[in-house]
Chain A
């Protein structure tokens, strides 16, 4: 029998519903793959084989009864940021040591209601703060991708590095992820997988550990565009428990996969052509433009003049919101407590030991920009710039542009422990230069693999859509996917 972990979600769904394979068999194949690979890749921080087997058995019973859900029997990995009842949920942080919530996040509850099977919790940058998965309390995730002929370990990107690595290495059929500044799209691009950050408000944030509430959105990482569409359909919902959850019916995203792009107007924003951008990124972008033009789309040069201010504005808004959201980790209600002489000392000791370096840095920045005397100069200014960034997009969409095509990342994956990245926080932040604009404006963005770098590492393109028009992204993304082909790492682990 061929390895069942090689099946996409769509293929597995077909084989499960026609009873060629059972959910238990499929789940066992993934449990075996995780056991064989996780000590090398460190993609999972907690594996839940007993729960997976139990859920798979229930799936088989529902399939037998003719009551299969949309994701019946499909084994998924869940980013450690999502609350899963009774199961390890620590945002890959030391400060949430031992936390097992008594509730289930809205997104994961939607997946289980549709019949999906949970394999375990995936590694990530601590509290989703990072672009390389190196800030995790559980250590870095190794990308399954290596440069041709090299044994050097590369990063899978971040913050959803465990999700991307697990999907690329076939340690789950698909994964949940979250994206505050690029945390779905950047790791997807660096691992040759597909990831979509939907429009802000499309997926409920209820039960997802908050980083920056006005930017955070959940979305899937999967092996192809169709699988992403299938997963997003189940993840998205309207939820009264999240006041920013939108009252809109969830479309049948899968129907838009393979839909013609003839006559679509695709904008190419000139500000995304950055100084010092590697030639292979420019070439990849041109290739993507050609593919969409060949498929009948009209290519239009556009301008988003405030693009360069998105990243600096983000590094005020996101830390400000984080400093407030992370105030709850105080050693009283959950997780780690480090004693002190009095209450304030207990708080300070707990937070000093419980948070990693990057998280502390962002809390400090956020605290500073919100403090008396600096609020107007930093925070208020950044929120005004954010209005201008959003207005740039609104202007091009009002001019009849349907979607934008840009590179997903400024380079291929770098090495774990890269000196330059680790000694200069701003250098690391520049990884998100093409993705962060989308969060600032609340728009949907899809990263799709488009080729390999000269070193043999994956590179991706990004499609940015109108609010709640994920369908156009799936349609255009499948054009690129069809032209570029799919990319899988050579197994070394």
Chain B
């Protein structure tokens, strides 16, 4: 399988990465080189094989559904580029 220029633009949009028209051909070549390399996986017979979901055979740990920490709003917004009264500020979403 190989990707065309439209697919590169669509994937970039899904990934929320702005690309210029100048970026597209190089990106397309690189993606196709990588996809060409991983193509060999299709020759492996995986019939009856379960996909790996956990690398160590252990049950997912669960914790009690309770509050363990909180009241740290000012810490949480401390590194944000733009905040007001402990809220993150973003460009207007709803007119």
Residue ranges of A at the interface with B (Cβ–Cβ < 8 Å)? 98-103, 199-201, 214-215, 240, 243-246, 306, 308-309, 312-313, 315-316, 323, 327, 330-337, 339-349, 351-352, 355, 360-361, 363-365, 367-368, 371, 374, 377-378, 380-388, 390, 424-426, 429, 441-442, 467
Chain A nearest CB, measured from B81 CB (Å): 4
Cα of A312 to Cα of B43 in the assembled complex, Å: 12
Cα of A12 to Cα of B15 in the assembled complex, Å: 49
* Complex contact A368–B38 (CB within 8 A): no
- With beta carbons under 8 angstroms apart, the residue of A199, A315, A334, A390 that contacts B38 is A315
Chain B nearest CB, measured from A301 CB (Å): 23
Chain B nearest CB, measured from A83 CB (Å): 11
Cα of A100 to Cα of B78 in the assembled complex, Å: 9
Cα of A429 to Cα of B52 in the assembled complex, Å: 22
Considering only CB atoms, which chain A residue lies closest to B58 in the complex?
A246
Cα of A308 to Cα of B53 in the assembled complex, Å: 21
Cα of A199 to Cα of B17 in the assembled complex, Å: 34
- With beta carbons under 8 angstroms apart, the residue of B19, B56, B63, B72 that contacts A246 is B56
Chain B nearest CB, measured from A219 CB (Å): 16
Chain A nearest CB, measured from B35 CB (Å): 8
Contacts of B16 in A (CB 8 A): 327, 330, 344, 347-348, 351
> Would A387 and B55 be within 8 Å (CB), given that A99-B79, A337-B81, A346-B91 are in contact?
no
Cα of A214 to Cα of B56 in the assembled complex, Å: 10
* Complex contact B19–A333 (CB within 8 A): no
Contacts of B27 in A (CB 8 A): 360-361, 364
Given contacts A312-B39, A374-B1, 17 further A-B contacts (CB under 8 A): A102-B72, A244-B58, A309-B41, A312-B38, A323-B15, A346-B90, A348-B18, A351-B18, A364-B15, A364-B31, A368-B3, A384-B44, A386-B51, A387-B51, A387-B52, A425-B34, A426-B34
Cα of A215 to Cα of B82 in the assembled complex, Å: 34
* Complex contact A380–B33 (CB within 8 A): no
Cα of A442 to Cα of B57 in the assembled complex, Å: 10
* Complex contact B41–A361 (CB within 8 A): no
- With beta carbons under 8 angstroms apart, the residue of A102, A244, A327, A381 that contacts B78 is A102
Within 36-56 of B, Cβ neighbours of A (below 8 Å) are at: 37-42, 44, 46, 49-56
> Would A386 and B52 be within 8 Å (CB), given that A349-B18, A367-B14 are in contact?
yes
Considering only CB atoms, which chain B residue lies closest to A381 in the complex?
B41
* Complex contact B88–A333 (CB within 8 A): yes
Contacts of B44 in A (CB 8 A): 306, 309, 381, 384-385, 388
* Complex contact A381–B14 (CB within 8 A): no
Asked if B12 CB lies within 8 Å of chain A CBs, one says yes
Contacts of B88 in A (CB 8 A): 332-333
* Complex contact A201–B51 (CB within 8 A): no
* Complex contact A331–B15 (CB within 8 A): no
* Complex contact B55–A200 (CB within 8 A): yes
Cα of A361 to Cα of B31 in the assembled complex, Å: 7
* Complex contact A384–B46 (CB within 8 A): yes
Cα of A368 to Cα of B2 in the assembled complex, Å: 11
* Complex contact B41–A312 (CB within 8 A): yes
* Complex contact A385–B78 (CB within 8 A): no
* Complex contact A333–B79 (CB within 8 A): yes
> Would A100 and B12 be within 8 Å (CB), given that A364-B17, A388-B46 are in contact?
no
- With beta carbons under 8 angstroms apart, the residue of A201, A363, A385 that contacts B58 is A201
Cα of A319 to Cα of B58 in the assembled complex, Å: 24
Q: Give me 29 A-to-B residue pairs in the complex whose CB atoms sit less than 8 angstroms apart, sorted by A's number.
A: A199-B56, A201-B58, A214-B54, A245-B61, A312-B38, A332-B80, A333-B76, A333-B79, A334-B79, A342-B92, A345-B18, A348-B16, A349-B18, A355-B17, A360-B15, A361-B27, A361-B30, A364-B8, A364-B17, A368-B35, A371-B11, A371-B14, A384-B49, A384-B50, A388-B49, A390-B52, A390-B55, A425-B30, A442-B55
Contacts of B61 in A (CB 8 A): 240, 243, 245
Contacts of A367 in B (CB 8 A): 11, 14-15
Chain A nearest CB, measured from B92 CB (Å): 8
* Complex contact B41–A336 (CB within 8 A): no
Q: Taking each of A99, A245, A367, which has the highest tally of chain B beta carbons within 10 Å of its own beta carbon?
A: A367
Considering only CB atoms, which chain B residue lies closest to A359 in the complex?
B17
Cα of A388 to Cα of B49 in the assembled complex, Å: 8
Contacts of A345 in B (CB 8 A): 18, 91
* Complex contact B51–A309 (CB within 8 A): no
* Complex contact A332–B90 (CB within 8 A): yes
Cα of A243 to Cα of B18 in the assembled complex, Å: 35
Cα of A374 to Cα of B52 in the assembled complex, Å: 18
* Complex contact B51–A98 (CB within 8 A): no
Cα of A308 to Cα of B60 in the assembled complex, Å: 30
* Complex contact A467–B34 (CB within 8 A): no
> Would A364 and B11 be within 8 Å (CB), given that A309-B44, A378-B38, A425-B33 are in contact?
yes
Asked if B75 CB lies within 8 Å of chain A CBs, one says yes
* Complex contact B82–A360 (CB within 8 A): no
* For the complex of A and B, 5 pairs with smallest distance between CB atoms: A383-B51, A442-B55, A348-B18, A337-B81, A334-B79
* Complex contact A336–B81 (CB within 8 A): yes
Considering only CB atoms, which chain B residue lies closest to A238 in the complex?
B61
> Would A348 and B17 be within 8 Å (CB), given that A240-B63, A243-B60, A333-B80 are in contact?
yes
* Complex contact A337–B82 (CB within 8 A): yes
Contacts of A386 in B (CB 8 A): 51-52
